[in-house]
Amino acid sequence: MNESSQTAQNYYDSDDAYNFYQHVWGGEAIHVGLYDAVTKSGEGTEADIVWSKASARLATEQLFTQVPAQTLKEGMMVCDLGAAYGEAARHCASKYGCTVLCVEVSKKENEFNRKKTAEAGLQDKVQIPKELSFFDTEAESGSMDLVVSQDSLLHAGSERHKVIEEASRVLKKGGYFVFTDIMQSDGCDPEVLASTGVLKRIHLESMGSPEVYKKHAAGCGLSFVKFEDRTSCIMHHYGTVRKILEAKRGELSCSSQFVDNMLAGLSAWVAAGDNSSLCWGFLVFQKS
């Protein structure tokens, strides 16, 4: 396991992070949601939680509608890079009948995924073999009809191109790679982005961007299909999670230092979004 994968594993397997993502971020879904397509009902913490979960669920559903309908049928193979708690895998398996390989470095998230998958009776469709890195999925070359990922490639840092290479390797010819990621905007001023503190907090010198991913993909035999820009959801997401964390901090089994650092980090993400340094949305590529 390389350094970035080990760092991600250590973070997501920590008690603080696990409790935070379970009780604040969304439980089964720990990615940005489609807040711009879900109407918020009411005010207060519980309304924020319901909005956050519904928005995340919709983002997962729309992840799979980015490709032609015939791509998803009974028996087709899907690989989820950074599968986390397995929400996307279970949705894909139950709705479309696909078999899904979950690639995730976190032991705790894999254990939770196995539990929820068993409860859903989807053990025959959702594969969670062991802790795996999106740099080396151990899947056979040309074995996947679809590769998906939700807000995970950020953790690859400067090695993000290697994740694109692995996605291309496992895809069949004509297969699709569909993902969301928290990116810097193509016109981002590096100094302005750095001033928000975001890069320092995630220990990166830069982030991916739509143009960067297009370049990496082209070099791996993946043709650009589209980018559906839903950047406004970033500010809603981090702002909402921050409000929930502030309201629930006294109930959480998280250290004060972790909560304080997380609140500062969430504020940095909101600031970066407000000054147009970030972008987010659905990127779709097809293997030539």
Instruction: Tell me what pLDDT residue 197 has.
Output: 82
The model's confidence at residue 22, banded by pLDDT at 50, 70 and 90, is: confident
Is pLDDT of 131 > 90?
yes
Span 191-201, average pLDDT: 82
Span 145-171, average pLDDT: 95
Instruction: Tell me what pLDDT residue 170 has.
Output: 98
Span 47-72, average pLDDT: 93
Residues 6+ apart with CB under 8 A from 250: none
Residue 25 DSSP symbol: I
Q: Parallel, antiparallel, or unpaired: how do β-strands 126-127 and 99-103 relate?
A: parallel
Helices (H), the chain: 3-12, 15-20, 45-63, 87-96, 107-119, 160-170, 190-195, 198-201, 210-218, 232-248, 256-274
Is pLDDT of 14 > 90?
no
Count of helix runs (H) and strand runs (E) in the chain: 11, 9
Query: What is the residue-wise DSSP string for 157-168?
Result: GGGHHHHHHHHH
* Residue 147, phi then psi, degrees to nearest 5: -120, 130
